[in-house]
Amino acid sequence: MKCPHCNSENIEVGLRMFESLNGSPVGFRFSKGIMSVVAQIHCDICKDCKTIVRSYIVESTDKKWLK
């Protein structure tokens, strides 16, 4: 994978996003029965220019997403 910003291949993959204050995972909510669950955002980052090259979720996309 190449960074679209600086063309580097120095990419760190699979970092996850957390909220800084209490360390909760950051992501997209979907409903699961009566509960709502967060599909956590994962990112690949360029270690040379600090660009987030890719952000994605690992769960299947076939959910009842809460927008």
With respect to Zn ion, which residue has the nearer C-beta, 31 or 55? 55
* Smaller CB separation from Zn ion, 13 or 49: 49
Quick one: CA dihedral 43, 44, 47, 50, positive or negative? negative
Of 17 and 52, the one with the shorter C-beta distance to Zn ion is: 52
**How buried is 46 (Cβ within 10 angstroms: 0-12 exposed, 13-18 middle, 19+ buried)?**
buried
**Which residue carries 């599909």 as its tokens?**
39
For residues 2-41, which are near Zn ion according to CB under 5 A? Answer: 3, 5-6, 8
Residue ranges that bind Zn ion, judged by CB under 5 A: 3, 5-6, 8, 46, 48-49, 51
